[in-house]
C-alpha cells in the first residue's frame, strides 16, 4: 500500500524559501569567516601596540640603569611614568639578578613578579601571566649584563591586561553588531532578490489559471529571457493539445459519417424485408469493420505519438514480421538486409503493424520473393524498402492504392483494401511518409516507408 503524500510533499517545498535559506547559510558562513579573520587581525594589532609601549618602557629602563657603589642596580634618572610610584597602579617593573637584591617598582608594593630561571631571555620575551589572582598581566622581559657587573640582570615590565581586554571586548561587540546588521541587510536583499526574481513564475501561474478558467487561451508575452523558453513550451503544449483534441473530434466525425451510410443501407434493407438482407448485412458490416479498424489504428498512433521516449530497432521488428508472415505464406521467401542498428521514433506495435501490412501485401501479391532493406539513417529519416516479384502496379494507378477500400487486384484474394491507407496515415502521424515505385531487382512493386530517426541516447 502506497502512503499518501502530504500537500507539502506534493508541492516539493517553496523555491523562494530554498533560495533564501541557501543565501542565509552562505551569508552566515562568509560573515563568520570574515568576522573571525577581522577579529584576529584587529585584536593582534591592539596587543602589538600594547607590547610596543612596554618595549619602549623596557628599553628606557635598560638605558637608564647602572651599577651603584654597592653593586646593586639603580637608575640614573627616575622613570617618566608616575604610575610606577603608585601602589597597585597596574604598571610595574622589576629588576632581579642571581644573588642580588630584587629592585621592584613602588607600584608592586608587597608583591613581586615571578622570575623563571629556566631560560635566558637574551631577546625580548613577552607573555601573559595570572600570577596576580585579581589582575591578569602582560609581561615583557629581557636579560641584560650591565657595564661594571658580571651579573645577568632580568629586566621585567608588566602592565595589567584590563586595558587591552576591554579594548578587544569593545572591538568584538562592535564587530558582532556591525556584522549582524550587515547579515540582516544581506538576508533582506537576498529575500527581495528571490521574491522579485521569481515574480515572473507567479505570473505564469496566474496566466495558466486564467487559461484553465477559460479567460484566455495562451500565456501572454513580455517575460524575461530566462522564462521565455518555459512560456513558449507551455504555449506549444497548449497548441499541441488543442490540435490533438481537434484531430480527435475530426476522426470521430469521420467515423460517424463513414458508419452512417452502411447503417442506413442495413436499415432500409431490413425495413423493406429484402430477400438479400443477409448478404447486405454481411457486406455493410465488413465495410463498417474496415472503417472502425482504420480509425482505431489512427487513434492508437495519435495516442502513442505523445511519447517522446518511443524508439524501436527496425531490424528486430522486421524479423518478427518475417516470422509471422512466413507462417501464413510458407512458400514465400523473405530476405532482410541493411542496417541492423537503425532505430526509429515509433512505438514497436505501430511499426509491427505498418511492416506487417506491407510485407503481407508483398507476400500475397508476389510470386514467392520478398526483399526488406533497412537503409542507414539519412537526413533524420530511416528508409525501409519492401520489394516483391509480383506483376507490379502501373504508375498511373499507384495513387489509388492510398484510397481507403480501394483494391486493384481481381483475383478474389482476401483483404479489406485498407492496408496501405492505414500505413500511410500512421506513418504521417509520426512524421513519416510512404512512397511507391518499381523494384529494379525483383520487377514488382517497391514500397518505401520512411520514418523519423530516433535520437542517440546520451
Residues 285 and 346 in one domain: no
Crossing angle of helices 314-328 and 348-365, in 10° steps, is 40
Q: Which residue has the cell 526483399?
A: 371
If asked whether residues 323 and 411 sit together in one domain, one would say yes
Identify the domain boundary among 162, 177, 211: 162
Same domain, 280 and 364: no
Asked whether residue 49 is assigned to any structural domain, the reply reads no
Q: How far apart are CA 353 and CA 451, in angstroms?
A: 14
- Domain end among 255, 281, 302: 302
Segment holding 358, helix H or strand E: helix 348-365
**Residues 241, 108 share a domain:** no
If asked whether residues 288 and 388 sit together in one domain, one would say no
Residue 457 is predicted with a pLDDT of 65
Cell of 190: 537576498
Give the strand pairing for 333-338 and 369-374. Answer: parallel
Same domain, residue pair 432 and 365: yes
Specify the CATH number for the domain of residue 387.
3.30.565.10
Distance of CA 123 to the CA centre of its chain: 61
Contact 98, 152 (CB under 8 A): yes
Report, as an integer, the average pLDDT of 63-77.
86
The last residue of a domain, from among 116, 136, 162 = 162
- Same domain for 271 and 334: no
d(CA 410, CA 323): 28
355 and 446 part of one domain? yes
In a domain, 121, yes or no: yes
Q: Is 25 a domain residue?
A: no
Judge whether 243 lies within some domain: yes
Domain assignment present for 44:
no
396-433 per-position pLDDT tens digit: 777 777 664 444 444 444 443 456 777 888 888 888 99
Distances (CA, A) of 140 to 97, 137, 256, 385: 16, 10, 107, 99
Grid coordinates belonging to 53: 609601549
Name the residue with higher pLDDT: 308 or 167. 167
Domain for residue 30, yes or no?
A: no
Cα dihedral: 67, 68, 74, 77 (round 10): -100
Q: Report how many domains make up the chain.
A: 3
Q: Which is it for strands 65-67 and 333-338: parallel, antiparallel or unpaired? A: unpaired
Kindly tell me if the per-residue pLDDT of 299 is higher than 80: no
In this structure, the answer to whether residues 346 and 445 fall within a common structural domain is yes
In a domain, 260, yes or no: yes
| CB 274 within 8 Å of CB 280 | yes
**Rounded distance between C-alpha atoms, residue 236 and residue 107, angstroms:** 90
β pairing state of 433-438 and 445-452: antiparallel
> What is the predicted pLDDT for the residue at 315?
95
Count of alpha carbons within 13 angstroms of residue 397, beta-carbon side: 9
- Would you say residue 30 has pLDDT above 60? yes
Assigned domain for 31 exists: no
273 and 351 part of one domain: no
Q: What span, in angstroms and rounded, lies between the C-alpha atoms of 113 and 96? A: 10
Q: Is the dihedral of CA 304, 310, 313, 316 positive or negative?
A: negative
Same domain, 278 and 143: no
Q: Could you give the C-alpha distances from 305 to 239, 350, 374, 418, in angstroms and in order? A: 15, 10, 22, 21
DSSP state of 403: S
What is the domain extent for residue 387?
Answer: 309-452
- Mark whether 85 and 156 lie in a shared domain: yes
Quickly state the pLDDT bin for 38 (edges 50, 70, 90).
very high
| pLDDT at site 263 | 79
Q: For residues 143 and 155, what is the distance between their CA atoms, to the nearest angstrom?
A: 6
57 or 200, which is more confident: 57
Stretch (H or E) spanning 211:
helix 199-212
pTM of the model: 0.51
Q: Any idea which of 3-12, 48-57, 211-220, 363-372 has the lowest mean pLDDT?
A: 3-12
Amino acid at each position: 500500500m502506497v502512503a499518501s503524500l502530504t500537500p507539502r510533499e506534493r508541492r516539493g517545498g517553496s523555491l523562494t524559501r530554498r533560495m533564501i535559506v541557501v543565501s542565509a547559510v552562505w551569508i552566515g558562513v562568509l560573515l563568520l569567516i570574515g568576522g573571525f579573520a577581522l577579529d584576529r587581525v584587529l585584536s593582534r594589532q591592539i596587543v602589538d601596540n600594547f607590547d610596543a609601549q612596554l618595549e619602549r618602557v623596557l628599553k628606557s629602563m635598560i638605558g637608564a640603569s647602572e651599577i651603584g657603589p654597592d653593586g646593586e642596580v639603580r637608575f640614573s634618572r627616575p622613570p617618566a611614568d608616575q604610575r610606577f610610584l603608585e601602589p597597585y597602579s597596574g604598571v610595574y617593573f622589576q629588576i632581579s639578578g642571581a644573588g642580588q637584591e630584587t629592585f621592584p617598582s613602588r607600584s608592586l608594593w608587597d608583591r613581586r613578579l615571578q622570575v623563571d630561571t629556566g631560560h635566558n631571555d637574551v631577546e625580548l620575551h613577552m607573555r601573559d601571566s595570572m600570577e596576580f589572582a585579581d589582575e591578569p598581566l602582560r609581561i615583557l622581559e629581557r636579560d641584560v649584563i650591565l657595564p661594571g657587573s658580571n651579573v645577568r640582570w632580568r629586566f621585567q615590565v608588566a602592565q595589567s591586561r584590563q586595558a587591552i581586554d576591554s579594548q578587544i571586548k569593545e572591538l568584538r561587540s562592535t564587530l558582532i553588531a556591525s556584522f549582524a546588521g550587515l547579515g540582516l541587510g544581506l538576508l533582506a536583499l537576498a529575500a527581495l532578490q528571490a521574491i522579485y526574481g521569481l515574480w515572473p513564475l507567479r505570473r505564469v501561474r496566474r496566466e495558466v489559471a486564467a487559461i484553465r478558467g477559460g479567460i484566455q487561451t495562451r500565456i501572454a508575452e513580455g517575460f524575461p529571457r530566462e522564462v521565455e523558453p518555459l512560456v513558449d513550451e507551455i504555449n506549444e503544449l497548449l497548441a499541441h493539445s488543442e490540435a490533438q483534441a481537434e484531430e480527435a473530434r475530426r476522426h470521430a466525425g469521420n467515423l460517424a459519417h463513414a458508419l452512417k451510410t452502411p447503417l442506413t443501407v442495413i436499415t432500409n434493407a431490413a425495413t423493406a424485408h429484402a430477400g438479400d438482407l443477409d448478404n447486405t448485412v454481411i457486406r455493410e458490416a465488413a465495410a463498417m469493420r474496415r472503417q472502425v479498424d482504420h480509425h482505431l489504428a489512427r487513434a492508437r498512433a495519435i495516442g502513442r505519438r505523445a511519447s517522446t521516449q518511443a524508439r524501436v530497432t527496425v531490424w528486430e521488428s522486421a524479423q518478427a514480421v518475417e516470422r509471422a508472415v512466413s507462417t501464413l505464406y510458407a512458400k514465400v521467401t523473405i530476405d532482410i538486409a541493411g542496417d541492423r542498428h537503425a532505430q526509429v521514433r515509433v512505438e514497436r506495435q505501430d511499426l509491427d503493424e505498418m511492416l506487417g501490412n506491407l510485407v503481407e501485401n508483398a507476400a500475397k501479391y508476389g510470386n514467392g520473393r520478398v526483399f526488406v532493406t533497412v537503409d542507414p539513417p539519412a537526413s533524420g529519416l530511416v528508409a525501409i524498402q519492401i520489394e516483391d516479384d509480383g506483376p507490379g502496379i502501373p504508375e498511373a494507378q499507384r495513387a489509388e492504392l492510398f484510397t481507403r477500400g480501394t483494391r486493384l487486384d481481381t483475383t478474389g484474394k482476401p483483404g479489406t483494401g485498407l492496408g496501405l491507407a492505414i500505413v500511410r496515415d500512421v506513418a504521417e502521424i509520426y512524421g513519416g511518409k510512404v512512397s511507391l515505385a518499381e523494384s529494379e531487382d525483383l520487377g514488382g512493386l517497391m514500397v518505401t516507408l520512411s520514418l523519423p530517426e530516433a535520437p542517440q541516447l546520451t
